[in-house]
Structure 1
């Protein structure tokens, strides 16, 4: 189910957005978005994003 992560330029992602979203949702692929050859963001499966969010919230200090 998990595919190898790939890199795509933002221009390519714009042209193939539906395919990139489907690859993340259906196949578990992580796609790194690049600008001028540098990674700037990632399209990840929902489970990975939710796990990262939960870990971030757990690491936050309690508010006043």
Structure 2
């Protein structure tokens, strides 16, 4: 798990996506020190989506 500012992610987007897809790394994107989004591996997103659909 890692935290990066929006600026850092913008500058290194390809690296962040590669880390998620190859190494399963979750990267939280921050704005002014607060988590606002995340880049996650597809299996993590699919699991969250399945759980949300089940209610």
- TM tier, shorter chain? over 0.9
Q: Which sections of structure 2, spanning at least 5 residues, go unmatched?
A: none
Runs of 4+ with deviation above 3 angstroms: none
Higher-Rg structure is 1
TM-score by length of 1: 0.85
Which one has the bigger helix percentage? 2
Q: Which sections of structure 1, spanning at least 5 residues, go unmatched?
A: 60-64
Shift of 1:24: 0.2
Let me know the Cα RMSD of the aligned residues.
0.3
